[in-house]
A and B are shown apart, each in its own frame.
Chain A
């Protein structure tokens, strides 16, 4: 078994990577601008929804309930999907999932595929596996296309190219699409993407997608999107292959009424995203006549094992915690060394890898609590960060100061007290980083932030004080 989360295992430690990113003022401006816009839009459409808290409570309860009965719901999904004409595959890890998909594509004698945004396939590095097998993957989401053509990496789970501005995108498109002229307005750039992909949509025989939800009760699969590239990939090819993490299942069709309200408002600040596609197996005479779904573990069942942090798997990948995070807003997504950046990445990436890699990520936070406040399924990210820090300490991978602090009476304290302690460090600007090994860059990093004067201040009110009032 080899769990792989993109290239996270070989990525430089967060403080090192972050320092580089913070030094790039163009990138910081781009990230700052984009997250500002989404935050404003989200604030408006969440604010108008009087039952927002009730929706969050329902979303959280449904997800927690599912995780407590995951085997049952996956089996139910498998049965319903199979009955409707789908073929369900199971993959223990990234390599196994990639192998299954490559074999399927070959079985259908295709040498190219069209893909609709799937972070899960970035996690398994499916494109690398496809290319190694002589299969060309075409990313069709505009942002993914920008990332693919720019030979870049995604920096945000909803808007993967948010670190790029229009001039940069124009340059990438002109070079890679072989265009002599191209305007720089977003309309011009979107138009170029439409033209570039159109013929591929109509021609390519195999589509590859992820999924936002699997409905156990009906065997239905749901993809949420905006551009229509999803609908193209899901309904024009002869064969559709979806790769989906096991935690994406929900019990009932009715549960969609909760998530289809929470997700668009949180993710893009829209009341509803332009398109949702919901399909159930194979429909004669409409869309792909062969449908395969690969259910991926890749470390998820390990995350499930820890009662104090398993709610990490509740995540619906809305990206709101990234947009709200003062650290992410400074560093962008690449610093996290994983396809999952920001606060959710800081807790998910190390856990998927059984805490054996990416151990600096739980420190990539000031514990200000903004992520928890915006999370549509109420994942208590700050508390999980603290919990994971103690795990890093226990494994002997923590910086010296942290080990010393935790070794003393402090370590015997309740979880809540540990939280206060860690937060006190943060507030003093004395993060538990020292000159022991790779983690000593952070004070420098903080100094960099002070110089640029735009680090969101850590609130005077501590996370715990604030949380106690919730």
Chain B
């Protein structure tokens, strides 16, 4: 017998459980909050995770990006293919990732991406690595991540968020809830370990 046959045979012999197999799903599916409260909750959660949050009108993204880069003393960022050109202010250098080496990603000033969804209750950004978000390494190796979230992509609860994510499969999905962190040393939360140590978010009305 192969290992597969043997493991399956053992399972078939031994498995069992309650006769009633319906799954009670009485947990909250939607949020009682108003739309503006949901947006506020999302921003709150992000700040709670130590992310920096901005909010602007759709026409003002490039201007907001420019202000952020100036304040941080950056001259440019990496971007994935598919990021709207209207988001990228002139003067700054935006380099499209066309198979950059990990060393080049590592040496960069950071990355600007879009996202594929966001969840207010948990302060979560969903990246599906589709156009506009790039391959997984792009939003991981650089030490700074500037993420643009359109508010029409924002949902209130985790179940709503998961439904959105189901529609994005089989693309690889990454959910990001604040910058990388650890509490492995005496349970003290340290912001920034291996993932980008700084996460900055622009909410777009």
Contacts and interface: CB of A to CB of B under 8 A. Distances in A.
Contacts of A271: 45, 121-123, 177
A37 B187 contact: yes
Interface in A238-278: 246, 253-254, 256-258, 260-261, 268, 270-278
Contact of A68 (B6, B17, B141, B190): B17
A169 interface: yes
Interface stretch (A90-98, A336-344, A391-399, A427-435): A90-98
A254 B166 contact: yes
Q: Is the interface of A mostly helix, strand, loop or mixed?
A: helix
A417 interface: no
A142 B184 contact: yes
B185 A142 contact: yes
Interface string B171-198: 1111111111111111110101111100
B169 A280 contact: yes
Given A197-B194, A273-B177, A301-B7, A54 B27 contact: yes
A58 B27 contact: yes
A285 interface: yes
B137 interface: yes
B100 interface: no
Contacts of B122: 271-272
Contacts of A456: none
B181 A274 contact: yes
Given A257-B159, A285-B135, A226 B181 contact: yes
- Chain A interface size band reads 35 or more
A62 B23 contact: yes
Interface string A309-352: 01000000000000000000000000000000000000000000
A20 interface: no
Interface in B9-38: 10-18, 21-28
A321 B74 CA distance: 47
A279 B165 CA distance: 12
Q: Is the interface of B mostly helix, strand, loop or mixed?
A: loop
B103 interface: yes
B84 interface: no
A442 B88 CA distance: 69
Interface of B: 2-4, 6-8, 10-18, 21-28, 45, 49, 102-103, 106, 119, 121-124, 129, 135-137, 140-141, 158-159, 161-163, 165-166, 169-188, 190, 192-196
Interface of A: 30, 33-34, 37-38, 50-51, 54-55, 57-58, 61-62, 64-65, 67-71, 74-75, 84, 89-92, 96, 140-143, 146, 159, 161-162, 165-166, 169, 186-187, 189-190, 193-194, 197-198, 201-202, 218, 220, 226-229, 231-232, 234-236, 246, 253-254, 256-258, 260-261, 268, 270-281, 283, 285-287, 295, 297, 301-302, 304-305, 307, 310
Which 9 pairs from chain A and chain B are nearest by CB?
Answer: A228-B195, A68-B17, A235-B136, A272-B122, A228-B194, A301-B10, A37-B187, A305-B14, A228-B180
Given A37-B187, A226-B183, A278-B175, 20 more contacts: A50-B28, A51-B28, A58-B24, A58-B25, A71-B8, A89-B3, A91-B3, A161-B185, A227-B180, A227-B182, A227-B193, A231-B140, A246-B7, A257-B158, A271-B177, A272-B175, A275-B174, A275-B180, A286-B129, A295-B7
